[in-house]
A and B are shown apart, each in its own frame.
Chain A
Amino acid sequence: MDIQYQGESLLPGQLGQFFIILSFGSALLSCISYLFATKYKEDRSWHQLARIGFFINVAAVIGIGSCLFYIIYNHLFEYHYAWSHSSRTLPVYYIISSFWEGQEGSFWLWMFWQAILAVVVVARSRQWEDPVMTTIMLCQAVLASMLIGIEVLGERVGSSPFILLRQALEAPIFSRPDYLTMIADGNGLNPLLQNYWMVIHPPTLFLGFASMIVPFAYGIAGLWQRKYKEWLHAALPWSLFAVMVLGAGIIMGSFWAYEALNFGGFWAWDPVENASIIPWFTLIAAVHVILAYKNSGHAYFTATFLVLISFVLVIYASFLTRSGVLGETSVHAFTDLGMYWQLVAFNLLFLGIMAYFLISRWKELPITKKDEDTYSREFWLFIGALILVVACVQIIATTSIPVFNALFGTKVAPPVDAVAHYNKWQTAFAIVVLLLTAIGQFLKYKRTTPKVFYVKLLVSLIVSVLLTAILVYVTKVYVNVLFIVLSFAAVFSLVANARVLGDAFKGRWKLAGSSVAHIGFALLIIGALVAAATNKVVSLNAGGSIPIAGFEEREKPGENLFLYINQPMKMDGYTITYVGDSVAAPNVYYKVNYERKNEKGDVVEQFQLTPNAQQNPKMGLIGTPSTRHYLTRDIYTIVTSAPKLDDPTAHAHDEQGHQANEGYDEPTIQLVQVGDTLRYKNGFVIVKGVDRNATLQNMPLANGDLLFALQLEVHAVTGEVYSAHPKYLIKNGNPFDFAHDIADQGLRFRFTKIVPDKGMELMIYQKPLPEKKWIVMKAIEFPYINFFWCGTIIMTIGFLLSIFRRNKELKRKMA
């Protein structure tokens, strides 16, 4: 039986699905045609067919994106993707981030960038186009297959973003033709992703990933066409571009983590972070070995291998993050969409291509048997690259523990303190790499005179030792010998590269790129080291709280600080006060004032931070930090707990005459006389007198009825005075009472009995005092973190300069 569903807009989905099939088909057609165009060079029709296929593919990829965007933008919740990743309240710029919150959207992003890059390749690569595009279009076809979402022989191939909600889920409402009217809103975007960095970080990262296919494709083309040397020249600018963009993308992710996440830092060695840094390391190593090869003819195989393996590692990274294999070791990974084996196949396909060409061409590769000179730059470039690879192997090995578990059925857990484990190894590698970036600058390609080398080295060495001493003293990293050594290595690299940069100002601009990038890297390491080694939690809860039974033997003081509103607390030289909050739905901004005084009591520093928290119905309280940035340090503040926002419907409405005294505490019952003074939580009550001539509004009094009203005067501590008249009635011999409420004070008075000679019975009901507002917050000081960000920018500029230089070289060669 078919149900005629109402209100569904099926066209964009069908169109989108058509574009997916079209992009898959056209990519495959283009790949095969390029393959034949490479084989039969004289027949240009293959080349033309390949180009037609390629342009159709570009159009189809753009078509997929447009359809998906249309669906999300117009809140077409009949589509699963729109329903699960966006909502009506989402601002437009976050609709962009919801676009790539899901796996399908991020695959599309990858496809899109790959298509754009391919356009550049087609426009510029001339005789390389056919073989290079064969590989790129193969990858494009594989990516398109990730979106197809059909079943082949019982195995699901791909996951389509255009699947309908009722196809994706099973729920009783889908038996109703008008089910759409019952779906008011989508699931919304994860609040952690509602950050401006999330608009820009994924596209940059994926551009980096996507651009890694180009050097890979050149490498394969070079081996395939037996142009063993030429391809390296063409691949170098592309490799530099990929390294630059991926590096920037990774650091943006780190900025996002620092600005928006609550783990209190910029790098956590999470498997997802590691997965993206692994190919970055190998490609950086590749760039250095290509340079060594270009200038000396040594290390050909290493250069080729590193370029090729980098892209295979990109695919491995997407396997790690998308297959669900990481399981409980990562909080950031995507959940499994049932594409585990498809991702494995993607990996094996490109690994297989790489292995095939390396093995089949092995005997023809221009590998030198001669030994390099120890006093040559290429030798140390090569060593540096090897160190990077070894560092990479360590990251891969630890990150892949869940993969080994899946492979061998073991149950090994990752290190308990993962950050310490990684830092232990990577600090050592960073020291060696930094020293090499310094030493390399004193060496020439091929052969350097040892005497000249040592003289130059000595001067820089002395300068660096002095600067290190100052740096270590100022930043207080002298607690650990390794930190001092790392600082020295970074400073040495800085000094040596600054020297080269100094030469650049005298006209040797050619070398500026590498030294600028090295300076940036050294600064980045200094910033990371100082911020990570000396950051301290300033909200230490050492005093002020009463230890709870059974927990007195706490090893460290708590890191979270409890603050009542308008109640200042001293914290590490600061007086901090939580002064209030403002609501900008769905976020609550908590205003926290920081104030620091000098000995005289003058305020020397004053600022307000507004960490916010989203009280998300699906995720609870999601805190977003607020950070005060200074040149030399940051004060990072995050709310870790806060009272639940008042739900207006939860209040019971008490009205006069209500039987139930709900919402009030247990009453106090007292016998009072005129002139008595009684206390209550917020003030006192004076019994002024008894009115015997009281009247009731709606009830006429019959003869013999007795009505008394108690005259009370209520004084609140805040100065307000109220009067109250609870009444007591005896009608037909039966007692009744009429309560009087003072809503402002949360008070209710009942006059319930008259005991002759003793007094009048007065019941006082009080509402519990409104809870004082409070927050629990955590504050961390990150000193000198600006070195980290600054280094990143400088490094990126360095890469950019190198790209220009190598590109110019390439043009000269081709001309």
Chain B
Amino acid sequence: MKKGAILGIIIIAVAIAMIVSIYTDSSTYASFKDAQQTASEIHVVGELNKTKTLYYNPTKDANYFAFYMVDHDGTECKVVFNGAKPQDFERSEQIVLTGKMVGNEFHASKILMKCPSKYNKDQVEVTESKA
């Protein structure tokens, strides 16, 4: 057998292993309801409920940040993050959480925010200069 053929087979085997690995490592975008049914970490996409107050009081605990998020199904859930409040959190338009449910709270290990508004969204800020 030619060495090239053996190599080819090995590479195909590695490639299959890789694809399987990517498939098993990848997760799904879920809702809070789905999160309740699984013990593993998943992604939840949603929006910050801006009508409820964010809780972050660093003088008490610098690593406790809590807020309410509404997922795409409209379910609202309290989210607790073991860390400092991410910069500019209030302005976020969309949040992707990574974490799992603990009781009635969603404990996030990672927060990814989409704030295109910060520099890209076009809002003209007008300042009247009066003479």
Contacts and interface: CB of A to CB of B under 8 A. Distances in A.
B116 interface: yes
Interface residues of B, number: 57
Nearest to A328: B96
Contacts of B11: 386, 390
Interface string B14-32: 1100110110011111000
A584 interface: no
A641 B56 contact: yes
A411 B28 CA distance: 7
Interface in B90-116: 90-91, 94, 96, 98, 102, 105, 112, 114-116
Contact of B7 (A328, A386, A398): A386
Given A397-B22, A778-B84, A546 B60 contact: yes
B63 A558 contact: yes
A621 B86 CA distance: 9
Interface in A341-395: 371-372, 374, 379, 383, 386, 390, 393-394
Interface in B31-63: 41-43, 45, 56, 58-63
A562 interface: yes
A546 B14 CA distance: 50
Interface string A548-560: 1011011111111
B3 A371 contact: yes
Nearest to B94: A328
A413 B58 contact: no
Contact of A414 (B26, B94, B119): B26
B58 A621 contact: no
A514 to B, nearest CB: 23
Contacts of B67: none
Contacts of A398: 22, 25-26
Contact of A545 (B18, B61, B112): B61
A474 B34 CA distance: 46
Contact of B91 (A173, A401, A620): A620
A696 interface: no
Nearest to B78: A550
A23 interface: no
A152 interface: no
B58 A335 contact: no
A262 B84 CA distance: 12
Contacts of A616: 88
A317 B91 CA distance: 29
Contacts of B43: 413, 416
Contacts of B41: 416-417
B38 to A, nearest CB: 12
A413 B26 contact: yes
B64 A551 contact: yes
A182 interface: yes
Interface stretch (A183-191, A654-662, A781-789, A807-815): A183-191
A541 B62 contact: yes
Contact of B114 (A328, A421, A622): A328
Contact of B120 (A335, A541, A559): A335
Given A184-B129, A411-B28, A546-B60, A558 B18 contact: no
Contacts of B7: 383, 386
Given A413-B43, A415-B25, A621 B87 contact: yes
Nearest to B2: A371
Interface string A522-551: 000000000000000000010001111011
A63 interface: no
B79 interface: no
B82 interface: yes
B76 to A, nearest CB: 17
B62 A545 contact: yes
Given A182-B129, A776-B58, A641 B85 contact: yes
B91 to A, nearest CB: 7
Nearest to B104: A550
Nearest to A383: B7
Contact of A183 (B62, B83, B124): B124
A168 interface: yes
B118 A619 contact: yes
A181 interface: yes
A425 interface: yes
Nearest to B24: A415
B63 to A, nearest CB: 2
A251 interface: no
Given A190-B118, A393-B15, A425-B18, A551 B84 contact: no
22 contacts: A169-B122, A171-B126, A183-B126, A335-B120, A390-B18, A394-B18, A397-B18, A398-B22, A401-B22, A411-B29, A421-B25, A425-B21, A546-B60, A548-B60, A548-B61, A548-B64, A557-B63, A560-B84, A561-B62, A620-B87, A623-B87, A641-B58
Interface of A: 80, 84, 165, 168-169, 171, 173, 181-185, 187-188, 190, 262, 328, 331, 335, 371-372, 374, 379, 383, 386, 390, 393-394, 397-398, 401, 411-417, 421, 424-425, 541, 545-548, 550-551, 553-562, 616, 618-623, 640-641, 774, 776, 778
Ranked nearest first, the 7 interchain pairs of A and B with the lowest CB-CB distance are: A558-B63, A620-B88, A640-B84, A415-B25, A562-B62, A560-B62, A776-B62
